[in-house]
Amino acid sequence: MNEKKLTTNQGAPIADNQNSRTAGAHGPILLEDYQLVEKLAHFNRERVPERVVHARGFGAHGVFTVTKSMKDYTCAHFLQNVGQETPVFARLSTVIHGLHSPETLRDPRGFAVKFYTEEGNYDFVGNNLPVFFIRDAIKFPDVIHSLKPDPRTNMQDPVRYWDFMSLTPEATNMLIHLFTDEGIPASYRTMRGSSVHAYKWINADGKTTYVKIRFVPHQGIVNLSMEEAEKIQANDFNHATRDTYTAIENGEYPVWDVCAQFLDPKDIDNYDYFPLDATKDWPEEDFPYVKFGEMTLNKNVENVFAETESVGFNPGVLVPGMLPSEDKLLQGRLFAYSDSQRHRIGPNYLQLSINAPHVPVHNNQRDSYMPFKQQTHPINFEPNSHEDTPKEQKEYAEIPQPLAGNEALRHAIEKTCPFAQAGRIYRSYSPETKEALIKNLVHDLNPVKEHRMDILDRVLHNFGQADADLAMAIATGLGIEYKG
């Protein structure tokens, strides 16, 4: 026998959930019907603002296991011992389009993982592609605005984003990655993850090392051609979610190798590009991958809104032994990500179970909207003379980090080098990947040819700076002359 009683949110039993209270059998509904008013009012507020970017996402729980100790590089406790396990929650997402957009669209994919460590939460917040369009956070609203639908027509317009990209040479590297078939992953469980940014790891002796993190799927990197994506979208715009969810439900748990690449700070000037530039990758032949762990996703969410949509990430959520690098795009994200969650789901979003660390939290941050983990101690300031209040932990004092330069100014990096790595990655592709890249670019640039040849000329110039053969092939596909 089902003993669950249907109730209002106040806990009052409901006898009739089918009919509103009215004035007589055929009269108007009465405002006194609290049950009705509560139900409709809550329904009107079920949704919160969707994320400006990464609105569409798939979430799942899992575990991270250390396979190689990282104690030589970081004192982060969860990375010290082989076999050590840490619970995680991963959110894998599209970037540009809305909450119910097709997962078959060409788009970078978000790859975010929350590690619930014994020293607090650590958020890995990356993408499937190893680089990004821009190198400074001040340009983030601009690149996203160019990729979002036109505010007048509400339709994405290639002329708009190619206009921006053609005037942003640093985006060339990202565009070459994005317009391969990797721009449309076959499933969330068959895509890689990259930190994009470098971070600092600090070991117990105070030694600092720059690090980038990669997630490499055991399932292989599997993508869709433009034609395959169109065929799937005609029947299913949830293909990536459906595939990953079904695999986990069937016990076919997706697994990723978690690898690191390292750079000694004294070697940062030894390259023709600035290694902390988010538009630059660290090529594996120059920075070998070191596997240090595995992540397994083994449990689907029970409530998408409460978990997948309410989870909040920030690349600045780090544990002792980790610091952000001087990457200018990363530095802006440190503020923006948590600020977006405070706007979406409130200043106490970290009290939600999906976001709350698995260790006790003690501080003097109080009140605001929905503080359901109330602090009852009357002393809400520090320092104080009360023994039963939280105190600073001096053993976690941060190691001093050097600063480059001694003046505050709007600096541009010196080694922009916008095309060399883009050409290098293009020339490393197989003939099949080159063919797909050119086909995808030609398809996307055709509307630009029809409306703005000046934009197309700039696009071809940028690709030609990366590799003349690439620009020539694109021009040939578009049926125009490449002027070099």
Catalytic residues: 54, 127
Whether residue 390 contacts residue 363, with contact meaning beta carbons closer than 8 Å, is answered with yes
Whether residue 241 contacts residue 103, with contact meaning beta carbons closer than 8 Å, is answered with yes
Tokens 């029970």 locate to: 302
Q: Is 34 annotated as a binding residue?
A: no
Strands of 149-254, DSSP E:
193-194, 199-202, 208-217
Least Cα distance to 116 among 339, 359, 298 occurs for 359
**Radius of gyration, alpha carbons of the chain:** 25
Strands of 227-341, DSSP E:
255-263, 290-300, 322-324
Listed in sequence order, the residues at least 6 apart from 26 whose beta carbon sits closer than 8 Å to its beta carbon are none
What does the alpha-carbon distance between residue 330 and residue 365 come to, in Å, rounded to a whole number?
A: 26
Least Cα distance to 210 among 221, 195, 231, 230 occurs for 195
How far, in Å, are 56, 189, 238, 317 from residue 94 at the CA level? 6, 13, 12, 22
- Residue 309, burial from CB neighbour count under 10 angstroms (0-12, 13-18, 19+): buried
Number of H helices, E strands in the chain: 11, 10
Whether residue 73 contacts residue 260, with contact meaning beta carbons closer than 8 Å, is answered with yes
State the chain's maximal CA–CA distance in angstroms.
85
Listed in sequence order, the residues at least 6 apart from 288 whose beta carbon sits closer than 8 Å to its beta carbon are 261
3 state SS of 243: helix
What does the alpha-carbon distance between residue 209 and residue 278 come to, in Å, rounded to a whole number?
A: 17
Binding residues are 337
Binding residues for heme: 337
